[in-house]
Amino acid sequence: MVVGFREFRVADKVAESDIITSFYLEPTDGAPVWEVKPGQYLTLRMPGDGDPVLKTYSVSCDPSETRHHRITVKREAGLNGAPDGVGSCWLHDQVEVGQIIDIAAPRGAFVLDESSNRPVLLLSGGVGLTPMVSMLHRLRDSGRDVYFLHACENGRVHALRDEVLACVNDRIRARFVYRTPDEADRAAQSFDAQGVIDKAFLQNNLPVDDYEVYLCGPTPFMVAMYQLLQDVGVPKGRIAYEFFGKAKSLDQLLVKPDIRKAASRAAPTIQALTFLTDPDAWAAADEGAKHTGTPSQGEVTFRKSNTSAEWDGFAGSLLELAENAGLNPEFSCRSGICNSCKCTLVSGTVEYFEEPLIQPEEGQVLICCSRPKGAVVLDI
Ligand SMILES: Cc1cc2nc3c(=O)[nH]c(=O)nc-3n(C[C@H](O)[C@H](O)[C@H](O)COP(=O)(O)OP(=O)(O)OC[C@H]3O[C@@H](n4cnc5c(N)ncnc54)[C@H](O)[C@@H]3O)c2cc1C
Ligand code: FES
């Protein structure tokens, strides 16, 4: 068995839409499944071109489920001649019931705050609904008001619709917005509004309340929603979000004109988005925003590059700080799993906000999941 991983058998494989499939995963050791916080993800080890690749998928089932974990995966077909997505297409095309997969324990800080009594807005685009469905299950018996708002192209790509509707009651509402509904959607009245989620939609549909918002979807969708939520009066500090793609902080993206432009085209791009990796991307470092940790001060020196940067708390990790400084360090998972970002810590001390799956050797550090404690020198 691979260190840090546990074997699971695919107990069921269920098509949820034309492009999204669920995999039910049971541990082969007969022991109970892991404890999962609503919103967390699993890391799957899969065959790649050469070495195995690691891919992360949010747990999409009721987190209290004891017999299995479930992940729900969009097939990332290559567009315009690009190769198909390695992990998602392997799962869709090669994996059948009975397959054994190595999986690492649940991780991630994008989790439902269960200590709160506030009403909750679960806002998702495309396959970004997976952590929301897990949260929705947990919220069913919480006594909190819940508004589940989901945007996608149409019923052909809409996953887990019936499961979400089964959770609806006098406190839990669900609304679906389709950009391009087809005849079948119209006949079945399977959506609540056509087009994109805009200010008018929120003002007309979302009851005024003191929401905590959980947001996940393609990056342009998230940028657009992050702005929109603030336009209708939701404070940043109440918006937690997770990227399924490579990104940093929504506040940083909001000030980049190219991304703002992309956001204005959010809906058409929803299905075409490339999902890479960047878990745990909360609204970091803004005053009043939810935070993965307290920033410390200190200069970070990238010795090989002859560059330095002040740790000001706006970067989520040392990796992000290096990228913001114009460097391109190696990375893959961005969550302490793959060790691709390992480098030598020449001097100083770092702390991990996400514990590495496998601890690096003495004098080495994973920069994707750590931040400096005071001044540090890295051999980058
Ligand atoms: C915390 C977290 C949770 C996640 N949860 C989910 C989830 O619940 N469900 C889900 O479906 N996904 C989820 N993801 C995304 C998932 O981890 C993968 O990133 C996703 O499945 C794509 O991986 P892949 O190996 O299939 O694609 P990759 O091989 O990584 O490729 C990504 C895309 O790039 C395109 N591409 C590849 N090579 C090229 C090239 N040379 N030129 C142009 N395009 C190219 C591919 O066609 C594909 O569309 C999550 C990600 C994170 C970080
Ligand atoms: S990028 Fe994978 S451990 Fe840092």
Cα of 18 from ligand 1 centre, angstroms: 17
Residue closest via CA to ligand 1's atom 22 equals 275
pTM: 0.83
- What's the average model confidence in pLDDT over 77-92? 94
Lowest mean pLDDT among 33-42, 58-67, 284-293, 348-357: 284-293
pLDDT of 2-38, one tens digit each? 777 999 999 999 999 999 999 999 999 999 999 999 9
Q: Taking 70 as the threshold, does the pLDDT of residue 100 lie above it?
A: yes
- Confidence band of 285 (pLDDT split at 50, 70, 90): very low
In a 13 Å sphere around the CA of 313, the CA atoms on its Cβ side amount to 15
Q: Can you tell me which atom of ligand 1 is nearest the CA of 275?
A: 19
Cα of 336 from ligand 2 centre, angstroms: 5
pLDDT of 126-141, one tens digit each? 999 999 999 999 999 8
Cα of 282 from ligand 1 centre, angstroms: 20
Q: Which architecture, in CATH terms, is 120-253?
A: 3-Layer(aba) Sandwich (3.40)
31 phi/psi in degrees, rounded to 5: -80, 165
Cα of 171 from ligand 1 centre, angstroms: 35
Provide the 3-class DSSP secondary structure of residue 188: helix
Q: Taking 70 as the threshold, does the pLDDT of residue 292 lie above it?
A: no
Rounded to the nearest 5 degrees, what angle is found at the Cα of 201, between the Cα atoms of 244 and 276?
10
Q: Taking 70 as the threshold, does the pLDDT of residue 153 lie above it?
A: yes
Residue of 341, 350, 354 to test ligand 2 pocket, by largest number of atoms within 8 Å of CB: 341
Burial 34-46 (b: 16+ CB within 10 A, else e): bebbbbbbbbbbb
Rounded Cα distance between 64 and 74, Å, is 24
Instruction: Give residue 248's pLDDT.
Output: 55
> Considering all CA atoms of the chain, what is the largest pairwise distance in Å, rounded to the nearest integer?
66
Q: Can you tell me which atom of ligand 2 is nearest the CA of 369?
A: 4
Q: Can you tell me which atom of ligand 1 is nearest the CA of 89?
A: 26
Q: CB 27: neighbour CB atoms within 10 A? A: 17
| Owner of token pair 């550090």 | 365
Residue closest via CA to ligand 1's atom 32 equals 85
Percent of the chain topping pLDDT 70: 87
Q: Taking 50 as the threshold, does the pLDDT of residue 115 lie above it?
A: yes
Q: Give 183 or 245, the one with higher predicted confidence.
A: 183
Average pLDDT along the chain: 86
Q: Give 165 or 298, the one with higher predicted confidence.
A: 165
- What's the average model confidence in pLDDT over 312-318? 82
Q: Are 202 and 121 in contact (CB under 8 A)?
A: no
Instruction: Give residue 261's pLDDT.
Output: 44
In a 13 Å sphere around the CA of 72, the CA atoms on its Cβ side amount to 28
Provide the 3-class DSSP secondary structure of residue 238: helix
Please determine whether the domains at 5-107 and 120-253 fall in the same fold group of CATH. no
Q: Are 157 and 18 in contact (CB under 8 A)?
A: yes
pLDDT of 36-59, one tens digit each? 999 999 999 999 888 888 889 999
Range 5-107 classified under CATH 3.40.50.720: no
Instruction: Give residue 1's pLDDT.
Output: 67
Instruction: Give residue 259's pLDDT.
Output: 44
- Confidence band of 169 (pLDDT split at 50, 70, 90): very high
Cα of 174 from ligand 2 centre, angstroms: 36
Residues near ligand 2 (Cβ within 6 A): 331-334, 336-341, 366, 368
- What's the average model confidence in pLDDT over 79-94? 94
Dig out the tokens for 55 from the structure: 């891919």
- Confidence band of 296 (pLDDT split at 50, 70, 90): low
Cross-strand bridge partners of residue 212: 120
Cα of 230 from ligand 2 centre, angstroms: 32
For domain 289-378, give the CATH superfamily.
Beta-grasp domain (3.10.20.30)
Q: Taking 50 as the threshold, does the pLDDT of residue 278 lie above it?
A: no
- Confidence band of 358 (pLDDT split at 50, 70, 90): confident
Rounded Cα distance between 251 and 253, Å, is 5
Lowest mean pLDDT among 102-106, 249-253, 264-268, 334-338: 264-268
Q: Taking 50 as the threshold, does the pLDDT of residue 351 lie above it?
A: yes
Q: Can you tell me which atom of ligand 2 is nearest the CA of 277?
A: 1
Instruction: Give residue 158's pLDDT.
Output: 98
Instruction: Give residue 328's pLDDT.
Output: 87
Residues near ligand 1 (Cβ within 6 A): 41, 55-58, 71-74, 76, 78, 82-89, 108, 127, 130, 242, 244, 274-279
Rounded Cα distance between 275 and 217, Å, is 10
- Does the CA dihedral 136-138-141-142 come out positive or negative? negative
Rounded Cα distance between 241 and 244, Å, is 10
Q: Taking 50 as the threshold, does the pLDDT of residue 291 lie above it?
A: no
Collect all residues with Cβ–Cβ distance below 8 Å to 128 and sequence separation of at least 6: 216, 217, 218, 221, 222, 244
Q: Looking at the CA of 336, name the nearest ligand.
A: 2
Q: Can you tell me which atom of ligand 1 is nearest the CA of 88?
A: 26
**DSSP conformation class of 3:** T
Rounded Cα distance between 69 and 61, Å, is 7
Q: Can you tell me which atom of ligand 1 is nearest the CA of 55?
A: 17
- What's the average model confidence in pLDDT over 70-95? 95
- What's the average model confidence in pLDDT over 153-180? 97
Rounded Cα distance between 29 and 77, Å, is 34
Rounded Cα distance between 126 and 76, Å, is 12
The residues spanned by each domain of the chain are 5-107, 120-253, 289-378
Highest mean pLDDT among 80-94, 251-265, 271-285: 80-94
Q: Are 142 and 156 in contact (CB under 8 A)?
A: no
Dig out the tokens for 318 from the structure: 């040392």
Q: Can you tell me which atom of ligand 1 is nearest the CA of 46?
A: 25
Q: Taking 60 as the threshold, does the pLDDT of residue 77 lie above it?
A: yes
Q: Taking 90 as the threshold, does the pLDDT of residue 75 lie above it?
A: yes
Dig out the tokens for 161 from the structure: 């619709």
Q: Looking at the CA of 320, name the nearest ligand.
A: 2
Strands 370-378 vs 299-302: parallel, antiparallel or unpaired: parallel
pLDDT of 191-207, one tens digit each? 999 999 999 999 898 88
E-strand stretches of 299-341:
299-302, 307-310
Residue of 18, 92, 124, 275 to test ligand 1 pocket, by largest number of atoms within 8 Å of CB: 275
